[in-house]
A and B are shown apart, each in its own frame.
Chain A
Amino acid sequence: MRTFAKKVLILAAMTAGTMMVSNAQVVYWNGLGRALVTGSYLGGNILNQYEDNSTTPATITQPKDLTSARKSTDGYTIFDLGVNAQPNETLRASATLRLKNSFGGFYGDGSQFLFRQLKLDGIISKRVKYEIGDIDLELSKYTLHNFSEIYNDYESDILAQRRSVVEYENFNFGNKWRLQGAHLETSLRFNQGIEKLGLRFFATRNRRYVASTVPDRFMVGGRAEIFQSRMLQIGGNYIYIFDAAGTVSSPALTNQNQVITGDLKFTHFTDKVDYSVYGEAGASTNKYSYKLVDSSSSVSSNGGFYDVGVSAKYKPLLLKLYVNYRNVDANFFSSGAQTRRINDYGTVDLFSQLQNAPMALDPSLSRSSVGMGGATLMDYVTDQDLRNLNLRNSLMQYNPAYNNITPYGQATPNRKGLTIGGSIGNNEKVVKADFAVDLMSQAVADTAGASERKYTGIKGGAMLNAHKLLRFEKDIILTVGVRNENTQRSGVSPVDLKSTLIDLGLTVEVVKNLDLLGGAKMITAKGHEIIYARDEYNRIDATKSFYNMDLSQSQALVSAGARYRFSKNTYFTVNWVNQAVKFKDASMSMSNYHINQIFFNYTMIF
């Protein structure tokens, strides 16, 4: 009955919209259609019985896995229809309706019809632009920024295409967070002194209350930017995320997090070289309040940061060099900038259960558990439910193999040091390449008696448009990317972790609009790191056990396939995918596994 009522309501809204059209200026449509099917196969030592064959009595055993699934088939068809009605020139209403039919749910069984997105936007007095509803927001890298989970600047086309499906499903558009609220934007021009003043203000509700215990969580913030001229820009950002305790009767833990920053960019232009000096600095306050029946407590912390840099760009070659120095205090906390978009140890969709035990009984045997190395490279680009869509009020767990220098983005707390980098070319040239070197350390030690960790990171890559070099009409594009990290701490609680990530990609257009694709993503991690638990006040809790993470693991994600492009935004692709996970330690080799997958995808964007 409820479903019927919902359909009637939607139909009524569409009818009203259509009637509006008869008096309205315009209705236009956009959207996406996609059909996606996967067939997966799990194999490897993890499924087999294992016994220690040494002369001593066997101490390491693994029974044969008799209950975990070996094969999995999945897929769906979706149709996202975007309706944009513009009844006048100050208002536009946009709604995206989704029809989804999961694989196997034919004849209407298992079909879903829902609103994926709803937004009103328009202009007030030709000066102020507003948006209400589902909005995408971003400020600076230290205030509100949805950073990438792993270095993927030179990821192969075949894997990037796969990732794009996951990002679309999770509203990961660039580095913006998808939120629900309102956003205002305006710019004012001046007669003298400065050219333009830009103002932005937003307010969102990040979390809906749970009756009695969990209060609503809101966010307000904005940016003011003075554009003195094309040579000088000065800006300020403010963001305040808070739990409204009064929205429930018995709130337990509430949090208020404020961040304020100022930034500046000065550029000196010459005929061939542009020189820039830029920087951002700011501070945060973070307060947790705990309220019981007859007592209450609160914990506050304040932190700050500064990030300054210089760059020079030689325009004839599109060659840019830069040097940055930043110091981010250990207590600097910015919920909007430090929240990760992936939960490294979250529940994965594919073959989540292993070794005879349902995850609910023994989470340690989940494929994405800490002991199993967490979510894999394949999960990163294929698992639509591994992503986190909510701003968190404490730092999330992370897998140090993937990113130990900036696991919380550029705003990662307790970091100081230099970043030196450069780039050359762009996507239109024969070669595009860039590199960055991080020479960083912790600002303060996180363990009593220990020294600060030292981090050394090198990353870079290149894209070669070989067809431009060879003057072929059809595309031949090679990509290679490398990221190497080294974390060291000697003395008390030593740390020694090295990880290397390699991306390789090849795209060859064999005939018009038909591409052969190949790609690989490989990571090796070896060493020892210590991951501390954090308490409810986001503090490292020295009384709780920490996780001595001994890593000796390699993963390889390899994919090959073909793609036919019907048009710029419509394609069909079939890929073969193989993910191999290997633990190099003999005691863990029984947990090695691999997943083979065949993947079909038809996508149409209009």
Chain B
Amino acid sequence: MNRFKKLGLVAISTLVLVSCKKSGLNEGGTPKNIAASGNFSCGTLDAQFGGASTPTIDLSLGLPLEFAATFNETVSWKIVLRGQSSTAVKTISGTSSVLNASNATWIGNHDELYFFESGEKVSADLIISGKAGICSSDTVTIVNARNFKTVTPTFMLINGAASTFNSDFEGSGSTINNFHTQFNIGGSTLRMVQDDVIRAPEGQYYLRIIGKSAEQNGFFVGGLQHRKNPAASTYFLPVTWTDPEKIYLNVYVRGIDNLPSLNGQQAKAYATLNFECHEDDRGDNSTAANCDYYAKKPTGTGTDHFCPSSEDSWVFKIPVQHTGWKLFSCKYSDLLPSEDFANGGFGNRKLEPQKVCRVQLGMVSSPPFNLVSIDADFACFTYGAPFDPKK
């Protein structure tokens, strides 16, 4: 019994230690919410860069926009930033009598779905606890939005640092045709520009796959595939990304509202997006001589590292059943093996993310033979945690 008591004490002590927080106080040790008194007077909110007032900000430099204001008492406040075009939102909050670079900065991130866009005006509204309405406002124009595409030790778009044909579908010359392969078996793969009805979560453009499968089974409609060239000596993911439990696939997918029409027929809500990674299990180039799949293809069929008949495909299935844009993430270790035994379903059955030589975004119709459509944007890989644009 003593042993149980000791164990219980240790457990409780540990719980207390790791969860200890002063009640009623925020992390800075100051009270959580202080409302303005009747004597409160609101200072002027000023957007600044490097200590100087600025009407514009280049967030791609990695340096923050600062806000300045002075109050005659300590209050709880928040600054709500709204993109006038993108409808992106970011809220900064705190409790103090002064706003400055130590407590009111913005690095270009956002709280909700949409990313801030280059060239748009952003309104900054200062709201004080206990005081109705907006206390003070300022407006700043984003010359360049924060660059979420920069390759870091924990983030990359499908094609790394490439500014063209990458999975944000932005950039000059970045058209769908620049992706290595398009599968349009009855479908079309398009680069769509946003409009008032459908906005891209990030940037101006997004991917649309639309059509009715022309396959015998009516299942696979079309999509995009990116491959490493046969001569390439490296694969898609960094060599340090070795743990399938820590690698995440992320993509924004739009739901079943406002489904488009094609040839007078409206698409049905039966689409599934398959975000696939194909592994070069053997670590070699596939040829007609060593790969049964290519041996049965017409002469001259382009080959690469992947042999569909004897190497693994791993699939992140996203059935589209929601409304609006939504960010989907999946751990590499949770990917499903390909159901097609002869196409990615008969490899060594080992998760080897360092050997990913193809990445594919494909759409299937379930039930088959339906006109279906998927909009997708910002497909990316992260390491350590799912993609979080709030950070």
Least distance between B271 CB and chain A CB atoms (Å) = 11
Segment at the A interface, from B52-60, B146-154, B318-326: B318-326
**Residue A160 at the B interface, CB < 8 A?**
no
Contact of A89 among B3, B242, B309, B321 (CB under 8 A): B309
User: Is the beta-carbon distance between B341 and A123 smaller than 8 angstroms?
Assistant: yes
User: Cβ of A522: which chain B residues have Cβ within 8 Å of it?
Assistant: 4
Interface flags for B263-299 (1: CB within 8 Å of A; 0: not) read 0000000101000000001100000001111000000
B19 at the interface (CB under 8 A from A): yes
Chain A nearest Cβ from B377, distance in angstroms: 19
> A191 to B369, alpha carbons, bound, how many Å?
8
A506–B13 Cα distance when bound, in Å, is 12
A429 vs chain B, min Cβ distance (A): 11
CA distance A270 to B323 in the complex (A): 9
Task: Answer whether residue A54 sits at the interface, using C-beta atoms and an 8 A cutoff.
Answer: no
Q: A466 within 8 Å of B by Cβ?
A: yes
Determine how close the nearest CB of chain B comes to the CB of A465; give it in whole angstroms. 11
Q: Is there an interface contact between A25 and B7, defined as CB atoms closer than 8 Å?
A: no
Determine if B18 and A86 form an interchain contact, defined as CB atoms under 8 angstroms apart.
no
Contacts of B159 on A, CB cut-off 8 Å? none
Are B245 and A271 interface neighbours, CB within 8 A?
A: no
Q: Using Cβ atoms and an 8 Å threshold, which residues of chain A touch B108?
A: none
The smallest C-beta distance from B176 to any residue of chain A, in angstroms, reads 28
- Tell yes or no: A501 within 8 A of B by CB: no
Q: What's the least CB distance linking A268 to chain B, in Å?
A: 10
Of all chain B residues, which has the CB nearest A274? B321
Contact B310 A568 (CB under 8 A): no
Chain B residue nearest to A522 in the complex (CB): B4
- Is the Cβ of A191 less than 8 Å from the Cβ of B310? no
Asked if A139 is an interface residue, CB under 8 A from chain B, the answer is: no
Q: How far is the CA of A506 from the CA of B310 in the complex (A)?
A: 42
Set of chain B residues within 8 Å of A315, measured between Cβ atoms: 322
Contact B339 A187 (CB under 8 A): yes
Cα distance A189–B18 in the bound complex, in angstroms: 54
Q: Give the A-binding residues of B (Cβ under 8 A).
A: 3-4, 7, 10-11, 14-15, 18-19, 216-219, 242-245, 255, 270, 272, 281-282, 290-293, 309-310, 319, 321-323, 331, 339, 341-342, 345-346, 348, 350, 366-369, 386
Distance in angstroms between the alpha carbons of A279 and B32 in the assembled complex: 50
Q: Interface size on A (CB < 8 Å)?
A: 47
Write out the residue numbers on chain A whose beta carbons fall within 8 Å of the beta carbon of B346.
Answer: 89, 92, 122-123, 129
CA distance A269 to B3 in the complex (A): 51
Q: Which 7 A-B pairs have the closest CB atoms?
A: A126-B342, A189-B217, A269-B321, A89-B292, A89-B309, A229-B367, A89-B310
B11 touches A504 (CB 8 A): yes
| Contact with A271, one of B281, B321, B331, B366 (Cβ below 8 angstroms) | B321
CB pair B4 A195 closer than 8 Å: no
Interface residues of A in 464-507 (CB under 8 A from B): 466, 469-470, 476, 478, 504, 506
Does the CB pair A271–B323 fall under 8 Å? Answer: yes
Query: Quick check: is A543 within 8 A (CB to CB) of the other chain?
Result: no
A66 proximal to B (CB < 8 A): no
Pairwise interchain contact A568-B282, C-beta atoms closer than 8 A: no
Q: How far is the CA of A230 from the CA of B350 in the complex (A)?
A: 27
Bitwise, A94-133 to B at CB < 8 A (1) or not (0) is: 0000000000000000000000000000110011110000
**CB < 8 Å: which of B19, B244, B331, B369 contacts A466?**
B19
Q: How far is the CA of A262 from the CA of B309 in the complex (A)?
A: 34
Would you call B255 and A25 a contact (CB within 8 A)?
A: no
Q: Across the interface, which residues of A come within 8 angstroms of B321, CB to CB?
A: 269-271, 274
> By the criterion CB–CB under 8 Å, are A556 and B3 in contact?
yes
Any B CB within 8 A of the CB of A558: yes
Interface centre among B10, B323, B348 (most CB of A within 10 A): B348
Q: What are 8 inter-chain pairs, A to B, with CB distance below 8 A?
A: A123-B341, A129-B346, A230-B272, A230-B319, A558-B3, A567-B242, A568-B242, A568-B243
- Beta-carbon contacts under 8 Å, A46-105 to B: 84, 86, 88-89, 92
Specify which of B7, B342, B386 is in contact with A520 (CB 8 Å cutoff). Answer: B7
A506-B14 contact given A129-B341, A271-B322, CB 8 Å threshold: yes
Number of A-B contacts (CB under 8 A): 94
Determine which residue in B218, B310, B322, B331 has the highest number of CB atoms from chain A within 10 A of its CB, and name it: B310
* A580 contacts the other chain (CB 8 A): yes
Given A30-B350, A520-B7, is A195 in contact with B368 using a C-beta cutoff of 8 Å? yes
B11 touches A195 (CB 8 A): no
Evaluate contact between A123 and B368: CB separation under 8 angstroms: no
Q: Give the nearest-CB partner of B292 in chain A.
A: A89
Chain A residues within 8 Å of B11, by CB = 504, 506
When C-beta atoms are compared, the residue in chain A nearest to B368 turns out to be A195
Contacts known (A89-B309, A522-B4); A26 close to B18, Cβ less than 8 A: no
Pick from A28, A127, A269, A506: contact of B341, CB under 8 Å: A127
CB within 8 Å for A28 and B339 given contacts A195-B367, A270-B321, A271-B323: no
Contacts of B255 on A, CB cut-off 8 Å? 271
Q: Is the CB of A229 within 8 A of B15?
A: no
Contact partner of B348 (CB less than 8 A), chosen from A28, A469, A580, is: A28
- Interface: A295 (CB within 8 A): no
Contact A25 B310 (CB under 8 A): yes
Residue from B10, B281, B342, B350 within 8 A of A123 (CB atoms): B342
Interface residues of A (CB under 8 A from B): 25-26, 28, 30, 84, 86, 88-89, 92, 122-123, 126-129, 187, 189-192, 195, 228-230, 269-272, 274, 315, 428, 466, 469-470, 476, 478, 504, 506, 518, 520, 522, 556, 558, 567-568, 578, 580
Cβ contacts under 8 Å, B369 to chain A:
191-192
Q: Tell whether A88 pairs with B292 under 8 Å between CB atoms, given A189-B368, A466-B18.
A: yes
Beyond the given A191-B369, A470-B18, A504-B11, please list 8 additional residue pairs across the A-B interface where CB-CB is below 8 A. Answer: A26-B282, A89-B292, A92-B346, A129-B341, A187-B339, A189-B218, A274-B321, A556-B3
Docked-complex contact B219 and A189, CB < 8 angstroms: yes
Residues of A near B341 (CB, < 8 A) are: 123, 126-129
**B242 contact set on A, CB distance < 8 A:** 567-568
A468 to chain B, nearest CB (A): 9
Could you tell me the distance in whole angstroms from the C-beta of B237 to the nearest C-beta in chain A? 15
A230 to B243, CA, bound (A): 31
With a CB–CB cut-off of 8 A, which chain A residues contact B18? Answer: 466, 470, 476
Which residues of B lie under 8 Å from residue A127 when comparing CB positions?
341-342
Q: Is the CB of B366 within 8 A of A568?
A: no
CA–CA, A178 to B254, complex, Å?
Answer: 44
> Which of chain A's residues have a CB closer than 8 A to the CB of B272?
230
Least Cβ distance of A81 to chain B in Å?
A: 15
Q: Contact between B3 and A580 (Cβ–Cβ < 8 Å)?
A: yes
**Within the assembled complex, what's the spacing in Å between the Cα atoms of A84 and B319?**
35
Q: Give Cα A425 to B366, complex, Å.
A: 28
Whether A191 pairs with B218 at a CB distance below 8 angstroms is yes
Closest residue of chain A to B310, judged by CB?
A89
B323 cross-chain contacts in A, Cβ below 8 A = 271
Give every chain B residue within 8 A of A190 (Cβ-Cβ).
217, 368
Report B-chain residues with C-beta under 8 Å of the C-beta of A229: 270, 366-367
Q: Which residues of B are found within 8 Å of A580, using beta-carbon distances? A: 3
Q: In the complex, what residues of A have CB within 8 A of residue B310's CB? A: 25-26, 86, 89
A25 to B18, CA, bound (A): 54
A128 to B341, CA, bound (A): 8
B321 to chain A, nearest CB (A): 4
User: How far does the Cβ of A310 sit from chain B's closest Cβ, in whole Å?
Assistant: 19
A518: chain B residues at CB < 8 Å are 10
CA distance A30 to B350 in the complex (A): 9
Query: Cβ of A25 and Cβ of B367 under 8 Å apart?
Result: no
Complex CA gap A189/B217 in Å reads: 6
Q: Which residues of A contact B244 (CB under 8 A)?
A: 568
Closest to B257 in A: A271
